[in-house]
Amino acid sequence: MDTPDDSDAASSRRLGRDAAERISAGCYGALISASTLFGLSDTDLGTVIAVVALTNLVYFATHVFAYSLGDVSARRPGQVVVHHLRVSAPMISATFAPLLVVVVLSATGVALSTALLWGVAVAMTYLVVVATAGARLRGYSVVAVLLTAVGAAIVAAVLITAKLLLH
């Protein structure tokens, strides 16, 4: 029978710290993109692109700054910042597909409000896929992986709704 330490060691072999940070950053970036896209239907495409990109960049910089300050590794400060820039990059790349969907749909004549909903759907799908892959890489059972997928979708919907209610 595995002890909790044995189980943690086996999980960490499947999913290292850097990979875990990338998964977390990708989920975070997808949530930021979805919640930002959802609230922009009363604007034009150029504003949508600028607001979503800049919002993700601000959150990315804040995330890197906070993680760099809290890093307890023996690396030099510059190495710490570079490390967190690298492992947090999925916060930015998570924005590409949802924005591309909005741009392509808008360019083909789809109403911006509809294109934004499709962008939100792509961001939420990305979130669920990344969260589910992370759970699988951690060695979770099939049931736990499915619960992770459902939980990620529910949490995303709740957070997006909360953001909209606050603005």
pLDDT (average), residues 63-70: 88
pLDDT digits (tens, 9 = 90+) for 81-138: 899 899 899 999 999 999 999 999 999 999 999 999 999 999 999 999 999 998 888 8
CB 15 within 8 A of CB 79: no
pTM equals 0.81
The pLDDT value recorded for residue 8 is: 52
Alpha carbon distance 73, 80 (integer Å):
8
Is the pLDDT confidence value at 3 over 60?
Answer: no
> Which range among 1-10, 12-21, 29-38, 130-139 shows the weakest confidence by mean pLDDT?
1-10
State the CB neighbour count (10 A cutoff) for residue 83: 18
- Pick 106 or 5 by higher pLDDT: 106
Residue 72's φ and ψ, nearest 5 degrees, are -110, 15
Residues 59 and 66: their CA atoms lie apart, in Å, by 10
39 vs 167: CA distance, rounded Å? 9
Q: pLDDT by residue (tens digit) across 25-65?
A: 998 999 899 989 988 888 999 999 999 999 999 999 998 98
Picking from 107, 115, 129, the residue whose alpha carbon sits closest to that of residue 52 is 115
Domain boundaries, the chain: 16-166
